[in-house]
Amino acid sequence: MKKFATLFVLMALVALSAGFACDKDKKSNTQAAVSDPSTGVRDVAFTGYLTDSTCGAANANAKGKSCAADCIKKGAKVQLYANEKLYTLDKSSVAENQLGVPVKVTGTLDEANGIIKVASIEVVKQG
């Protein structure tokens, strides 16, 4: 019985150590992607659809192009829908040909408020 208990404790310690080792790797990978860990700002490149802050993900497709354009003209913020998340862009307008099609947005993401300071927006060629 003592051998079984000792073996059980030993296996539990090994499993616990492996769990902490995996957590350490996850944290270091996250921090490596952050340009300035103290501010939560990092360089990003996302591919998705541009939309407006009024309708959000509902207009993040080809069918929502005209509605998104109208909402943006009326003052709604420009947003990017990528990876099932909405990010607000620091630009107040976009070219009409960038709505309703996949685009690649590169810039700097402030993770505290979800705003991307845009460096470039390019239409992604499909095919």
Tens of pLDDT, residues 87-100: 999 988 889 899 99
Report pLDDT for 27: 35
pLDDT digit string, tens, across residues 40-61 = 899 999 999 999 999 999 999 9
Q: Positive or negative CA dihedral for 44, 45, 48, 54?
A: positive
Of residues 39 and 56, more confidently modeled = 56
Report pLDDT for 115: 97
Report pLDDT for 126: 78
Cβ proximity of 114 and 88 under 8 Å: yes
Contact partners, residue 62, CB within 8 Å, separation at least 6? 100, 101
Identify which of 101, 97, 66 has the alpha carbon closest to the alpha carbon of residue 80.
101
pLDDT digit string, tens, across residues 6-37 = 655 555 555 544 444 443 333 332 233 445 66
Report pLDDT for 55: 94
